[in-house]
Structure 1
Amino acid sequence: MSANSSYAAAGVDTAAGDLAVELMKEAVAATHGPNVLGGVGGFAGLFDLSFAKQFERPLLATSTDGVGTKIAIAQALDKHDTIGQDLVGMVVDDIVVVGAKPLFMTDYIACGKVVPERIAAIVTGIARACAETGTALVGGETAEHPGLMGADDYDVAGAAVGVVEASLALGAEKVRDGDAVVAIASSGLHSNGFSLVRHILSGAGIGYTDASAELGTSWGEALLEPTRLYSGQLVELLAGEHGGAVHALSHVTGGGIAANLARVLPRGSYAEVDRATWSPAPVFRVLNDLAGTTLESTEGTWNLGIGFFAVVDAASVAGVVSALDALGLPAWQTGTVRFGTPPAGGGAWEQGAKGVDGGAVRLVGGYAG
Structure 2
Amino acid sequence: MSMASADNPPPPSSSLPSGATYKASGVDLDVYAETMSRLPPLMRRTYTPRVVEWPNGFAGLFRLDDRVRLLTRKYHDPVLVSSTDGVGTKLKLAFATGRHHTVGRDLVAMSVNDCLCAGAEPLFFLDYIAMPRDNPDLTASLVKGISDGCLEAECALLGGETAILPEMYHPGEYDLAGFCVGVVERRFLIDGREVRQGDKLVGLGSTGLHSNGYSLARKIVFEIAGLTPESIVPEWGRSVADEFLEPTRIYVRAFKTVQRSYRVKRTIHAIAHITGGGLLDNLPRVLPRGVEARVETASWEIPPVFPWLNRVGSVPPEEQYRVFNMGIGLVLVVSDYYAEAIARRIREESDTPAWIIGELVAHPEGPEASPRVQLI
What TM-score comes out, normalization by structure 1 length?
0.90
CA contact (8 A) 1:41 1:139 kept: no
1:287: which partner in 2?
Answer: 309
The answer for the alignment partner of 1:355 in structure 2 is none
SS at match of 1:202: helix
State the SS of the aligned residue for 2:351: coil
Q: Are residues 1:244 and 2:256 paired?
A: no
Q: Quote how far apart the aligned CAs of 1:240 are.
A: 2.3
2 CA distance for matches of 1:174 and 1:25? 43
| Larger CA deviation: 68-77 vs 15-24 | 15-24
**Partner-residue secondary structure (3-state), 2:39:** helix
Q: Does 1:266 align with 2:288?
A: yes
Q: Do the aligned partners of residues 32 and 4 (structure 1) sit closer, same or farther apart at CA in structure 2, a change above 3 Å counting? A: farther
User: What secondary structure does 1:167 align onto?
Assistant: helix
RMSD: 2.1
Q: Deviations over 1:248-276 (max 9, x none)?
A: 11110011112111111112211111111
Q: Deviations over 1:297-348 (max 9, x none)?
A: 31100001000000111011111011111211111111111234359xxxxx
Q: 1:87-133: CA deviations, max 9, x gaps? A: 01101111011101000110000111121111111111001110111
Aligned counterparts of 1:226 and 1:115: Cα–Cα separation in 2 = 23
Q: Which residue of 1 aligns with 2:371?
A: 359
Distance 1:53 1:205 in 2: 54
1:212 lines up with 2:233 in the alignment = yes
State the SS of the aligned residue for 1:276: coil
Shift of residue 287, structure 1, vs aligned partner = 1.4
Q: Counterparts of 1:271-350 in structure 2 under 5 Å?
A: 271-326=293-348, 327-342=350-365
Q: How does 1:1-369 map to 2 (within 5 A)?
A: 6-38=21-53, 41-51=56-66, 54-203=74-223, 204-241=225-262, 244-326=266-348, 327-342=350-365, 359-364=371-376
Q: 1:5, CA displacement in angstroms?
A: 7.5
**Aligned equivalents of 2:371, 2:76: Cα separation in 1:** 31
Counterpart of 1:346? Answer: none
Closer/same/farther in 2, CA of residues 295 and 41 from structure 1, 3 Å limit: farther
**Counterpart of 2:247 in 1: which secondary structure?**
coil
Q: Tell me, which stretches of 5 or more residues in structure 1 are unaligned?
A: 344-350, 352-357, 365-369
Kindly name which structure, 1 or 2, has the bigger radius of gyration based on alpha carbons: 2
**Letter of the structure 2 residue corresponding to residue 311 of structure 1:** V
Q: Partner letter of residue 187 of structure 2?
A: S
Query: Quick check: 2:65–2:75 contact (8 Å CA) kept in 1?
Result: no
Structure 1 residues 360, 114: CA separation in 2 closer, same or farther (over 3 Å shift)? same
The alpha carbon displacement at 1:13 in A equals 1.8
Q: CA deviation at 1:4?
A: 11
Equivalent pairs counted in the alignment come to: 350
Counterpart CA distance in 1 for 2:30 and 2:174 is 18
Structure 2 CA distance for partners of 1:342 and 1:363, relative to 1, 3 Å: farther
The question of whether the paired residues in 2 share the 8 Å contact of 1:31 and 1:127 is answered with yes
2:275 touches 2:329 (CA, 8 Å); kept in 1? Answer: yes
Give the drift of 1:165.
Answer: 0.7
Cα deviation, 1:198-223, whole Å, max 9, x if unaligned, reads: 11123222111222222222211111
CA change 1:58–1:213 in 2 (3 A) is same
1:45 is aligned with what amino acid?
G
Cα-to-partner distance string for 1:331-369 (whole Å, 9 max, x where unaligned): 1111111234359xxxxxxx8xxxxxx6221212xxxxx
Single out whichever of 9-18 and 150-159 deviates more from structure 2: 9-18
C-alpha separation between the residues in 1 aligned to 2:124 and 2:104?
Answer: 15
Task: State how far apart, in whole Å, the 2-side matches of 1:44 and 1:38 are.
Answer: 10
Select between 158-167 and 242-251 the one with higher mean Cα deviation: 242-251
Structure 2 stretches of 5 or more lacking a match? 1-15, 67-71
Contact 2:54–2:61, Cα closer than 8 Å, also in 1 = no
